[in-house]
Structure 1
Amino acid sequence: MKSKTKTKIKTIPLKNTLFIISLFILFSCKQQTRVETSKTALVSSPTITQAQGFSIADNGDYKTIRVTGAFPEQERPYTYIVMDSSLSRKRKQEIKKFSASAHIEVPVSSIVVTSTTHIPSLEMLGVINALVGFPNHDYISSQKTRDRIKAGAIKELGQNESINTEVTIDLNPDVVVSFGVEGENKAMESIARSGIPVLYNGDWVEQNPLGKAEWIKFFGVLFGKEIVADSIFAEIERDYIETKKLAQGVQKKPTVMSGAMFKDVWYLPHGNSWPAKMIADAGGNYLWKDTEGTGSISLSIESVLEKAQTADFWVAPAQYASYSKLEKDNPVYAKFEAFQNRKAYTFATKKGETGGLLYYELAPNRPDLVLKDLVHFLHPNLLPDYEPQFFTPLGE
C-alpha cells in the first residue's frame, strides 16, 4: 500500500558528483578576453536548427561563431571570429581589429580538445589527425584515436581543470577547445594569454538530444568543413526523427525508472533532462517526467521504491553491470519488478581498452543510435534486427 506522505524532491547541481553524470548526465568558463560585439553588422545564418547554445553568422570573408551556452548561467556571449587563411594580410589585420573573444584562421591544422564528446566530431569530419593533445587519455574509448595515442601523436595534458599549461603552450596548437562547468578556467586563461585562441564548446549543456549532436557544425567551421558537418547532422536528425515517429505510434508506453544509489542517495534524471527526453521519444513513460529541471534529483531509496517498484523497465542503473552487484550493494534493489523480471539495461559494459565508457564519448553525438537502443529494448517488435550500440541487458 502506497504511503500518502509526499516525497520531498531536492534538486542538486550537476557539479556535485561525477556519479550523477553516470546516471545519463554527461560530462562534459569564461574567456579572459572581454567579449564585445563586432563593429560590423553580422549576417544571420539559419544553419543551426536544434542547438540553443551557439549560432553561426556568415559575414562574407569571415564567419562568426557566437556561443551563449558554454555553461549554465553564462553571463555574456563569447564571440569567435573565423577568417580564411587565404585572405590578404591587410584584410586579416582589418578583421582582427574587430573586438571578439578570439580570432582564428581556418582551416586549423592542429587542435587540442578537452572533452571526449569532442572526439567523435573530429573523427566524423575526417580531421582526427589534427588532434595533438588531450587531457587524460584513459577516458578516450575510440579505437581510431587510441591508435594515434599509441603512436605518440596525441600528447597527454593532465586534467581539464588543471590542464598542463606549459606542455599545451609548447605544443602551440592553432586552437584549444574547452568546456566550462562553473565559469572561468584559470588554466585556459593562461593559455589564451600566451596567444593561443581558446574556444568554449557547450555541447554538454544542451538538453535537446539533437541539439547536442548539432555542435559538430562548430567544428565544421574551424576546419572549413561546413558542408560535410551539415550533411552528417542532417542524416543524424533524419534518422532520429524517423525512429521517434516509429516509437510514438505504440499503443502502450511502458513505465521506466532510472538511476541508482550513491552512498545513501538515489540519483536520477530530472524530467526536462535529455535522458528523460530520450526515454519519452523512445515511447517510454518515465516516472519522473513531470519534475522540473535539467539536472539530477536526489531521493531516498524508500521513495523510489514507493514510486517505481512496479516499473516495467530500469534504464541506466548508474554504472552497474550486473544484477548480482546491485543486490550485493543493497538488497532493496531486488524488490523492484524490473530487477526481478530482468528488464534492466546498462551502458556500463561498452568500454574502451583503458576503461573509458563509449556512452560518455559518443552518445551525445549520436542520439539517433541511443534512441534506437532504447526503442529496441522498450518495444522489441519495432526494431527486432537492430544491434544495440550502447546499452546491453544487465548481466547476472
Structure 2
Amino acid sequence: MKLRILLLFIFSIVTSCKREPKKDLQEWTFLSNHLQYKEQKGILEVKSGKFSYTFKANQIPFNKIILLNSSMAGYISELNAVDHIVGVSSPEYIYSDKIQSLILAKKIHNVGNEQKYDVEKIISLQPDAIFTNYIASFDNTYQLLKNNGIQVIFLDEYTEQKPLEKTAYLKLFGKLLGKEKEANEKYQEIENQYNALKKLALQAKSKPVVLANEMYGDIWYLPGGNTSVAHYIADANADYVLKNNKEEKALTMSFEEVFSKSNGVRYWINAGNHTSKKEMLTMNSLYEKLGVFNNGNVFTVNGKEKGKANDFFESGVVRSDWVLKDYIKIFHPELLPNDQLIYMKELK
C-alpha cells in the first residue's frame, strides 16, 4: 500500500509538471497596454496598438533600418545601434551628433519628410524594416513599401503616458536589433534611477502647485491629469493644477479658464521653446496677468536645442530618469544642489 501511494505521489508530480505552461513561451510580455510581445517556437509576435507583426528567426535581428520619426532615434542611440540606420526622414530634427555625422558621410540618407517620403530612395536602400508612427494619409505609401517587401512597423510610442512604459520600448528595439541584453540592462538602470529619484522627491518639505504648456492662438492646451506631464509632476512630488483630472490627452481651455486655476501656482513648466519672457509676451500679452509669470519660475524645454532639433523629444523620450531629475531640480532644488538642468531652461 505504501509503495502504491508513493507511486501515485510521484506520478502526480510528473503529470503536474507536464501540464504547467511554459510562461516564457506562451505568455505575452506587456511593455504597456499598447505594446506587447511573445516568443514561441522561434517566432516573435508583436502587438502594437491595432497592428500585429510576426517575425521568424531568420528575419531578425534587423541589420538595416529606416526611422521616419526622430523620437525613435533616441532608442537606437541608447542601444549604441546607430550603425543599423540607413535612412531617416527630416534629418534637421535629429539631435544626435553621431547620426548627424553619418548623414554628412552619406552613410545615413535623407528619405523625405512628413509631407512626402522618397519611396524610390527607400526601396533602393533595401532596409529590413522601417519604424514609424502611423499616419492615415500615408496608407498608400505604406502599402507601396510593403508591396516591395519592406517591413513597416508602427509603434506610436508618443501615445504612452507613463514615463517608464515609454522607456520600456527599449526592450522591443533590443529584441529586433539583436541587443536584448543591452536593452534589458539599460532599462533596469533607468528604472532604478527613476524610482530612486521618485523616492528622493518625497523628502521635500513643500509640494508646489504647477502649471504646464502654453497657448496656441486663443487656446491653451492643458495636459490632462493622466498624461505623461502630469505623471512626471506627481512623481517629482508636486501638485498639478489638473491632478484630479483623468484624461490622457490635452484639454482645450481659454485663458480665462486657465487663469481661474492659476491661483497659488508656483512653477510653470513646458512653456514652449521661447528664449525670454519678453518674447513670450510678444506671442501673447495675456501671460502678464499670471502671477507665476511675474514672480519667476517659468521653464521651457529648450535646454538642449540645435537648430530645429530638440533632444527633449529624442533622448528625453527614453531617459525618463533624466526628465524626472529636471523636474525635481525645478520644484525642489535643495534636493539636487549639485545637478544642472538637462532638458529644461528657466526663462529670464
Query: Fold conserved (TM > 0.5)?
Result: yes
> Alignment partner for residue 283 of structure 1, among 237, 241, 245?
237
| C-alpha distance in structure 2 between counterparts of 1:185 and 1:369, whole Å | 36
Work out whether 1:80 is the aligned partner of 2:54. yes
Q: Using the alignment, how far apart are the partners of 1:284 and 1:121 within structure 2?
A: 28
User: Secondary structure at 1:185's aligned position in 2?
Assistant: helix
Q: Which residue number in structure 2 is paired with residue 365 of structure 1? A: 318
1:255–1:168 CA distance, 2 compared to 1 (3 A): same
Partner-residue secondary structure (3-state), 2:334 = coil
State the alpha-carbon separation in 2 of the partners of residues 44 and 344 from structure 1. 50
Aligned to 2:42: 61
Structure 1 pair 227–82 and aligned structure 2 pair: CA distance change class (3 A): farther
Deviation at 1:281, TM superposition (A): 0.7
Say which of 184, 194, 199 aligns to 1:240.
194
Contact 1:158 1:164 in 2 (8 A): yes
Q: Secondary structure at the match of 1:381?
A: helix
Most deviating of 124-133 and 330-339? 330-339
Out of 247, 253, 268, the position equivalent to 1:299 is 253
1:78 counterpart letter in structure 2: S
8 Å Cα contact 1:62-1:81 kept in structure 2: yes
The answer on 1:43 being equivalent to 2:43 is: no
Aligned equivalents of 2:139, 2:226: Cα separation in 1: 28
Task: State the number of aligned residues.
Answer: 326
Q: CA RMSD in A?
A: 2.0
Q: 2:330 aligns with which of 377, 386, 393?
A: 377
In the aligned structure 2, how far is the partner of 1:322 from the partner of 1:185? 41
Sort the Cα spacing of 1:330 and 1:121 in 2 relative to 1 into closer, same or farther, 3 A.
closer
- Does structure 1 retain, via aligned residues, the 8 Å contact 2:190–2:319? yes
Equivalent pair of 1:270/1:292 in contact (CA under 8 Å): yes
Shift of 1:47: 5.1
| Mean Cα deviation higher: 255-264 or 153-162 | 153-162
The one-character-per-residue Cα deviations of 1:260-292 (angstroms, maximum 9, x if unpaired) are: 111111112111111111111111100012223
1:112 lines up with 2:72 in the alignment: no
**Distance of aligned partners of 1:387 and 1:80 in 2 relative to their CA distance in 1, 3 Å threshold:** farther
Give the equivalent residue in structure 2 for 1:29.
none
Q: 1:153 Cα deviation (Å)?
A: 1.2
CA deviations 1:232-267 (Å, max 9, x no partner) are: 001111111111111133332100001211111111
Alpha-carbon shift at residue 180 of structure 1 (Å): 1.2
User: Does residue 351 of structure 1 match 2:305?
Assistant: yes
Amino acid aligned to 2:211: M
Equivalent position to 2:133, from 169, 179, 185 = 179
1:146 equivalent to 2:135? Answer: no
Report the Cα offset of residue 65 of structure 1. 2.1
| Equivalent residue, structure 1, for 2:5 | none
Match of 1:203 in 2: 157
Q: In the TM superposition, what is the alpha-carbon distance from 1:46 to its structure 2 partner?
A: 6.6
Identity value in percent: 27
User: Which whole-Å deviations, capped at 9, do the CAs of 1:111-161 have from their partners, x for residues lacking one?
Assistant: 001111111211222210110111111110111111111111111111246
Residues 356-388 of structure 1 deviation map (CA, whole Å, 9 limit, x = unaligned): 111111211111000000000100111111122
Question: What is the Cα deviation at residue 344 of structure 1?
Answer: 0.7
In structure 1, what is the Cα distance between the partners aligned to 2:317 and 2:292? 26
Where does residue 314 of structure 1 map in the other structure? Answer: 268
Task: Identify unmatched segments of 5+ residues in structure 2.
Answer: 1-22
User: Which of 316, 334, 348 matches 2:288?
Assistant: 334
| Corresponding position: 1:269 with 2:269 | no
| Mapped contact 1:56–1:63 kept (Cα < 8 A) | yes
